[in-house]
Amino acid sequence: MERTLPSPLAAAVRAAYGRGEDDETLNPLVLEDGSGVPEGRIAPGDSVIFYNIRGEREIELTRSLTEKGFSEFPVRSGMDLRFATMIEYARGLSVDVAFPPVEDLRDTLGEVLSARGLPVLKITEAEKATHVGYFFNGKSHRLFPGEKRIIVPTRKDVALFDEAPEMSIESVTETVLRELETPSHPFVLVNFPNVDVVGHIENEEAAIRAVEIVDAHLGRVLRAAEKGQWTVIVTADHGTVEKWLYPDGAVDTGHTDSPVPFFLLAPGGPVGLRKKGELTDIAPTVLHLLGIPKPPAMTGTTLVEGAVPPGGGQEKRVLLVILDGWGHREDPRGNLIARARTPVMDGLREGGFLSVLEAAGSAVGLPPGTVGNSEAGHLHIGSGRRIPSDRVLIRTALEDGSFFRNPAFTGAVRTAVKRGNALHLMGIVSFFSSHGSVDYLYALLDLAAKEGMDRVYVHAMLGRRGERPESGAEYVGEIERRCRERKIGKLVSVIGRFWSMDREEHWDRIEKTYRMLLYGEGTRVRDGRR
């Protein structure tokens, strides 16, 4: 990224680094004018475009700004905002959606099993509830007949999970062991989120500890599954800590483009597997193991080669264990999984059970060469087919120009023009986050210019995931420079995504963002360019 000359908020972000803050948890910074008044606050009648994608971390802030009768914390009444979102964050929100979801996918793994009368059980902690539910079911909020979810609460007694890499894994594992002992569901899915969640924090020791904790708990689950005559699949949705460093040695806390491991353990003995595949092959493999034909909609193919040796059990039962964020990479450089003590996974690998699955780029509906993520990973594991991502659809709209004619965007802008009010653009600031791209912001600035807007304010959310250390200040300076060059838009707020993109009802965090946006609460930064 091109370096820019320090400008007010960019300089303030660098000063925050000096105080020990980082991009992810950056406390709010607010631009003020020469008389000490915060600039660009969201006011009644304004228009807002939340340009993030993905959605599950955007719901709470959107609700606080749009929901009538919102009561999680005090909010200003009578705002009457014209509010647009890039994609649908949740049904029922009072917003215009620029890129609504494709119709719910049919014949996903969960739906096929339900139609066959086979109950499904999903177990994880709250941090990944959306992934094993909404995304695994093909971006559907439906709970299929016979489907049960046990969601263990995610701990709220720590600020970040490098303080407690174990998270709530003990409760998750105990739940799994109990359910395996008295099986009532022939298909059980369990997600261990630790490696992904802790891997996004720049704490090498904690990340390694998370890997080792997951390995140990996987061992407990495998021993119980063997005793109960379960067929077990162990895999992941994407990589993280197996590629911990950039080529120059800087720490990379983001997702990776690595494939993921796939192990299959059957009660009757070793099973022949294809050595390579992709996440779309998992659902057809589960159906194969349960003796169910895959539907035509599933374009993935089973990874099993040959017959599955019969076990001693009376019933076919499959346990799918997703080690969230556990990528596969042979190179030991910067590979925290290789550095960790993982006797269970090492034993599986030495036993010859390994296949390797593509979990990034076009294999999971993303642009070629891009990293994977939990959303795309669970979507493709559960659907058994490639599904174009929102990112691909948006990129196509940018290329063919339809982005600039999108009625959700033009409606927000034209309403602001008609009312004589301001337009606010808020979202993630990153070259490539699973939640969006700064390119969307620049496109919206261009659209606002074409529509004749004069008051456009930008509210930036910074994050460390997948970014180089202290990259936030570079982005902030770049945005300030581009706004000056375009002669439209002004960056007026900066905050870490820790405060603005929550999904666990930490309402104190969302309230901090809300009060920054409406009332200018935060560290004030004087606009010295006046």
Structure tokens of 272?
């022949």
DSSP structure string for 141-196: ----TTEEEEEEPPP-SSSSTTS-TTTTHHHHHHHHHHHHHS---SEEEEEE-HHH
Q: How far apart are CA 84 and CA 77, in angstroms?
A: 19
* φ, ψ (nearest 5 deg) of residue 47: -110, 145
CA distance 350 to 341: 15
Q: Tell me: pLDDT of 519 over 50.
A: yes
Q: Which position has the higher pLDDT, 184 or 407?
A: 407
Q: Comparing C-alpha atoms, which of 505, 503, 385 is closest to residue 435?
A: 503
Handedness of CA 112, 233, 225, 309 (dihedral sign): positive
Q: What is the pTM of this model?
A: 0.76
pLDDT by residue (tens digit) across 360-376? 999 999 989 999 999 99
- Please answer whether residues 512 and 28 qualify as being in contact, where contact means their C-beta atoms are separated by less than 8 angstroms: yes
Query: Residue ranges of the alpha helices (H) in 276-335?
Result: 282-289
Boundaries of every domain in the chain: 8-100+392-526, 109-386
Quick check: 280 and 372 in contact, CB under 8 A? no
Residue 409's pLDDT band (cuts 50, 70, 90): very high
Closest among 45, 61, 193 to 131, alpha carbons compared: 193
Q: Which pLDDT score is estimated for 353?
A: 83
A 10 A CB-CB count for 352 gives 9
Q: What tens digit of pLDDT does each residue of 73-85 get?
A: 999 999 999 999 9
Cα(162)–Cα(174) distance, rounded to whole angstroms?
A: 22
Tell which wins on pLDDT, 207 or 23: 207
pLDDT score for 311 = 66
Q: Residues of the chain with pLDDT > 70: what percent?
A: 95
Whether 2 has a pLDDT exceeding 50, the answer reads no
Residue with tokens 């699955």: 357
Inter-residue contact 109 to 283 (CB < 8 Å): yes
What sign does the dihedral 416-420-421-425 (CA atoms) show?
positive
Instruction: List pLDDT tens digits, range 373-389.
Output: 999 999 999 999 999 88
**pLDDT digits over 278-314, tens only?**
999 999 999 999 999 999 999 999 999 988 877 655 5
Residue closest to 377 by CA, chosen among 207, 135, 193:
135
Q: pLDDT at position 177, please?
A: 97
> SS3 of 396, please?
helix
**What six digits make up the tokens of 299?**
């374009």
Q: What is the mean pLDDT of the chain?
A: 93
The confidence score (pLDDT) of residue 122 equals 98
Paired tokens of 316? 């076919």
Distance CA 438, CA 436 (A): 7
Instruction: Classify residue 275 as exposed, middle or buried by CB count within 10 Å of its CB (0-12, 13-18, 19+).
Output: exposed
Other beta carbons within 10 Å of 163: 13
3-state helix, strand, coil in the chain (%, to 5): 35, 15, 45
Bridge partners (DSSP) of residue 461 are: 428, 495
CA-to-CA distance for 335 and 330, rounded, in angstroms?
9
Provide the pLDDT confidence category of residue 528 given band limits of 50, 70 and 90: low
Residue the block writes with tokens 């010859």: 352
- Which two three-digit tokens encode residue 227? 């005793």
Structure confidence by residue, pLDDT tens digits, 436-495: 789 999 999 999 999 999 999 999 999 866 667 778 899 899 999 999 988 999 999 999
Report whether CATH 3.40.720.10 matches the domain 109-386: yes
Specify the higher pLDDT residue, 230 or 530: 230
Residue 148 CA: distances (Å) to CA of 113, 170, 179, 189: 13, 20, 12, 10
The pLDDT of residue 38: 96
Distance CA(82)–CA(69), nearest Å, equals 17
pLDDT at 103: 63
Which residues 6+ apart lie within 8 Å of 304 measured at CB?
264, 271, 272, 273, 285, 288, 289
**Tokens 């290329």 -> residue:** 399
Q: What is the pLDDT of residues 51-64, one digit of tens each?
A: 998 878 999 999 99
Q: What is the CATH number of domain 8-100+392-526?
A: 3.40.1450.10
